Amino acid sequence: RRRAQVDKGSKGRAVRSEQAQIRKVADGLVKVQVALGNIASKRERVKILYKKIEDLIKYLDPEYIDRIAIPEASKLQFILAEEQFILSQVALLEQVNTLVPMLDSASIKAVPEHAARLQRLAQIHIQQQDQCVEITEESKALLEEYNKTTMLLSKQFVQWDELLCQLEAAKQVKPAAE
């Protein structure tokens, strides 16, 4: 029996301490609210700010635009001002519409199938370009060799021509001397 009374007493004290803490928090919140109210009533700028916040919330409302209706005459002016642009866009859209069947053609749909072949052809093309560079370098080397050989032959022919001229001149000098 004594134990039950002790347990009951300790539970009662715990409940009372919780209630006391809740009262302290509530009293603190009331004090903060009163202080903010006093500040707001004393300060004119804060009042103006509160009013502007309300206006901002009103302007940020998505339905605000719908409430401010643009007159039909203004809408007509916007459309007439953009008439040429709208007509050009219509022409382009019609052109796209006429070209849509080409996009659905079998040739366009077969493009993924041809990707592997295109890759192979690209590799062959690169190999052929490399071969072309090699052949060009070999041809250049052969032409340089040909030019050197031609130059040497020309020099040799010039030497032989000079030698032949000297021999002919020597032969003509001998009969005249006899």
Q: Convert the pLDDT of each residue in 137-175 to its tens digit.
A: 999 999 999 999 999 999 999 999 999 999 999 888 776
Distance CA 161, CA 177 (A): 24
If one counts every other C-beta atom within 10 angstroms of the C-beta of residue 40, the result is 13
Using a cut of 0.85, tell me whether the model's pTM lies above it: no
Distance CA 72, CA 96 (A): 32
For residue 86, give both structure tokens. 């709208």
DSSP for 60-116 reads: HSTTHHHHSPPPHHHHHHHHHHTHHHHHHHHHHHHHHHHHHHHHTSHHHHTHHHHHH
pLDDT digits (tens, 9 = 90+) for 39-98: 767 667 667 777 788 888 887 777 777 667 677 777 788 888 999 999 999 999 999 999
With b meaning 16 or more CB within 10 Å and e meaning fewer, what string describes 45-77?
Answer: eeeeeeeeeeeeeeeeeeeeeeeeeeeeeeeee
Q: What share of the chain is helix, strand, coil (3-state, %, to 5)?
A: 90, 0, 10
CA atoms within 13 A on the CB side of 128: 6
